[in-house]
A = this chain, B = another copy of it.
Amino acid sequence: MPIASAVQEALGSASLIRKMFEEGNQLKKQYGPDNVFDFSLGNPDIEPPPEFHRVFVKLAQEDAKGSHGYMPNGGYPEVRDALAAKAGKEHGVCLEGSHIIMSVGAAGGLNVVFKAILNPEDEVIVSSPYFMEYRGYIGNHQGRIVEVEALPDFNLDVSAIKERLSEKTAAVLINSPHNPTGRIYPAETIDALGSALKAHGDRCGRLPYLIADEPYREIAYNNIQVPPILSAYSESLVVTSYSKSLSLPGERIGYIAVSPGIQDKQEVLNALIYATRTLGFVNAPALMQRIVGELTFERVDIGIYARRRDCFKQVLDGAGIKYAEPEGAFYLFCQVPGGEDSAFVAHLKKHLILGVPGRGFGRPGWVRFAYCVDEHIIQGSAEAFKKAMETWKF
């Protein structure tokens, strides 16, 4: 047995998203990049804002002594202070720098949180459909994922979640704005979930954590405010990154914000710092920490995503494809006529359209298109979508 059995098993069902990514690159080589309508990967194509470039060049020119060395595992104190102010404002709580742990993106942050809190056989509830990588993140630390179907409009089904709470429930993991549906959970839902977790904890003696994975917080349309998490429930942690808000996914920079009212706070913070170290992250990349610390309130121009969303909706409307109305993030989650998502995705590929089958998110019968691609690609796909639909038999 050359590799770990669990990894061997996972490799068999390799990430559908990454698979499409590789296939997309192949097709682009073959047909030219403008002739492939690649909506498979959430790889933001909008460049970081001009302020990013300014700070990047400034820090490179300064290249201050010691600026690439180790710092405390939780990150530079001054950066944590700056981000505490930002996250505190977003979440309606008073945060200190010590409540922020810098992380290697949100994926790194989630692994750190699960390492810090999960005991073997502990359960983490997720709302399905969901970003399938969560399975791995939870399994890495001996947790068990419990899937609860979302409501038909993809809002959280708080009643159904309540029914699955037990003394094994370590956490509920939510993601809003949501990948793949674009749904933003309203404040009432978050509050209802917080109350349900509190009531459950008071009854059974174990307060589950609420973990909010929210790299898309800043990508919200029609002036919708993504409701706060940390003020809604004491035992909450927010995990986020600058992958989308500053378009820096390859640089792996994000943070964990811990509710100031969390029980055993110092122990939780110490555990997060220990997990950061022992999982081998050690610290978030030094340079990017300093850059985001200076760009606290910057973000990419989300008007670009809003226009693409509208454009893509027209394309889908024109082809007669139904979708969940996206309130945030940059995905359109569409119903597959007839329901055979894998076959539909294969059929689309013949028309050089790439999407990810819903089963890649635990929801067969749907398909996800990411619109972090240039608008002319979206417009250009209109004919291909129409032709694909004309020839789609179900």
Contacts and interface: CB of A to CB of B under 8 A. Distances in A.
Given A104-B104, A264-B3, A278 B133 contact: yes
A361 B251 CA distance: 33
Contact of A252 (B47, B61, B264, B285): B285
User: Which of A48, A72, A280 gathers most chain B CB within 10 Å?
Assistant: A280
B111 A68 contact: no
A34 interface: no
A3 B114 CA distance: 9
Interface stretch (A266-274, A317-325, A338-346, A351-359): A266-274
A68 to B, nearest CB: 5
Given A56-B63, A69-B247, A271 B3 contact: yes
Contact of A140 (B105, B267, B279, B282): B279
A29 interface: no
A14 B111 CA distance: 20
Q: Which size bracket describes the interface of A in this complex?
A: 35 or more
A15 interface: yes
Nearest to A59: B60
Contacts of A117: 2-4
Given A56-B60, A280-B104, A7 B247 contact: no
Interface of A: 1-8, 10-11, 14-15, 18, 22, 41, 43-45, 47-48, 53, 56-57, 59-61, 63, 65-73, 104-105, 107-112, 115-119, 133, 136-137, 140-141, 206, 247-252, 263-264, 267-268, 270-271, 274-275, 277-288
Given A2-B268, A108-B279, A250-B285, 13 more contacts: A2-B263, A3-B116, A3-B271, A4-B116, A5-B119, A10-B278, A56-B60, A59-B60, A67-B250, A104-B252, A105-B282, A136-B277, A280-B281
